[in-house]
Structure 1
């Protein structure tokens, strides 16, 4: 167990690992010598230098990348906040196992091993408009389930989720972490209409009022208005930071798992890249608060880690160019004066 207690989780949040400055400098120097005008590969150059720092080598690579998708069910769905019933979570997990979902196709294309972790799907979290979603033991268990998917030897971790109702939890997490009203963060999620969005906003407003008296620590926010799969994402991201493994975050729900951690310590996102900006209205606002610039913006809003998996192919392209291009000297090409 990586986080055997609340104290261990909180200690991990305060003792954050940093990238290797020497490796970053070496990668930056290499970029200056590659056969191209300086800066001409734009964001790809930044991505390569970012990975060099976290992998601790001038020429970073992805020999082993993993997509970890966490699934959980939410008691708040009793309020009609989703276009689909909670039973769809388990059905989609079965689809993942059968290889028929978008994340199966996209993670395979990106050369990522896929791991799907189901978290007590037969036991939804409590309705967080009237009680904490999880007790302390349940939240710690979810954090550890996420951390357990991360191990030494990974070069990249892509994070994703599946959970009917979890965009409602995500809106509550963001509002509680960064402020604003429910309407600032609530969106259509699975595709509910305007009346459904208004109902969802009212649900989040009630939840925020119910928990307003409680501590706003990362752990308390996660356990009160989060979900098991969301807490697992937070645990996985924190464990990746401990091991120096770069993380690609997917959409709004994935980012909301980091929000309570970042509210108290913005540096938590230093090892993270945002795979994309989704079509969920609150996602762009959330990325701004997390200080993350998305790699892609394709109008996606599926979840599952799908947008981040597409971005992983861009990361591979960045590292291929960085590691495979010749220098001016190697190619006998005159460098600009």
Structure 2
């Protein structure tokens, strides 16, 4: 696949920097807000940037075969399907937090291993399969399914942008997803399992040791499949990881900023960068996850988390907390006075 990823507007970035230097404040006094203001100006090609009024969270839901491995998660696999219904009811963590910033939340069943025929058809419109293989012993996906899910993610990004999205946020829901994310990051960056595996849903040290063993087995099994990103997604990923990667590339291809959430979107972003080099120029990191593999992913992508609140819920919940910070960065450029105007 080849993608036409636009370049952010460098003259706009420089114009924003010049205006920031002339505002009624000491030079650089607003720190990261100034960096974000420059970034948004480049993304929008204007100073000040456009308002971030239409924020859209898309939660990609799917089950992971590794959830059947004893101790890998503190919660059973059935939670994934139950949570899809919670998202639809508006009562999930990301629903509540997104409401505070006026963001819309959409959930999609990409690979939930349950009968969800009772939910609206639009939720199942991009379903690729039911669940994924347990990556320690078999491939996550059948041949061709990674590409199918990736294209689905791109199509979803197009839908959201066509509907007016100013900012896209990928969310995730799937028991076992931190194990899959750890495997993808380790394989992409050549790291040992012990470095990337965290506590996930809150497992104890014994559970973490089981997760390490699962990831080590997966990495050994797929050792010769890591050079091609779609082969990597097939062997060690999942349909929702592939769809998330497509969503990230889709946003970049349309020139719309994407705010990454936690460990799962970070892992998908690493793969997405390899599929579409340059797409990472359109991404920001919303927050720092407690999962170690996210640290390695963001470092490799050259991204710095906007917030560090100790969050590990997923769903897009951490990224939505960074939306007010981005709006504040824009407001600095739009509304602060100039030193030159002082009497």
TM-score (norm 1): 0.91
SS where residue 108 of structure 2 aligns?
A: strand
Give the deviation of 1:130 after TM superposition. 2.4
- Which of 94, 97, 104 is residue 88 of structure 2 equivalent to? 97
- Which of 139, 146, 149 is residue 146 of structure 2 equivalent to? 139
Corresponding residue of 2:74:
83
Give the deviation of 1:17 after TM superposition. 1.8
Structure 2: how far apart are the matches of 1:140 and 1:283? 24
Contact 1:217–1:260, Cα closer than 8 Å, also in 2 = no
Corresponding residue of 1:180:
191
Corresponding residue of 2:54:
64
Structure 2: how far apart are the matches of 1:40 and 1:190? 38
Corresponding residue of 2:205:
194
- Which of 118, 123, 131 is residue 124 of structure 1 equivalent to? 131
Residues 1:333 and 2:336 aligned together = no
- Which of 216, 232, 255 is residue 221 of structure 1 equivalent to? 232
Query: Structure 1 residues 275, 54: CA separation in 2 closer, same or farther (over 3 Å shift)?
Result: same
Corresponding residue of 1:6:
none
Corresponding residue of 1:154:
165
Contact 1:177–1:263, Cα closer than 8 Å, also in 2 = no
Corresponding residue of 1:7:
none
SS where residue 36 of structure 2 aligns?
A: helix
Structure 2: how far apart are the matches of 1:42 and 1:212? 43
Structure 2: how far apart are the matches of 1:264 and 1:94? 32
- Which of 220, 242, 245 is residue 234 of structure 1 equivalent to? 245
Give the deviation of 1:40 after TM superposition. 1.0
Contact 2:135–2:236, Cα closer than 8 Å, also in 1 = yes
Structure 1: how far apart are the matches of 2:22 and 2:292? 41
SS where residue 60 of structure 2 aligns?
A: strand
TM-score (norm 2): 0.89
- Which of 22, 32, 37 is residue 43 of structure 1 equivalent to? 32
Contact 1:55–1:155, Cα closer than 8 Å, also in 2 = no
Residues 1:114 and 2:90 aligned together = no
Residues 1:247 and 2:238 aligned together = no
Give the deviation of 1:215 after TM superposition. 4.7
SS where residue 57 of structure 1 aligns?
A: coil
Give the deviation of 1:255 after TM superposition. 0.1
In structure 2, list runs of 5 or more residues that go unmatched: 114-129
Give the deviation of 1:283 after TM superposition. 2.2
Give the deviation of 1:82 after TM superposition. 0.9
Residues 1:206 and 2:217 aligned together = yes
Give the deviation of 1:320 after TM superposition. 1.6
Contact 1:186–1:281, Cα closer than 8 Å, also in 2 = yes
Give the deviation of 1:136 after TM superposition. 3.4
Structure 1: how far apart are the matches of 2:329 and 2:170? 20
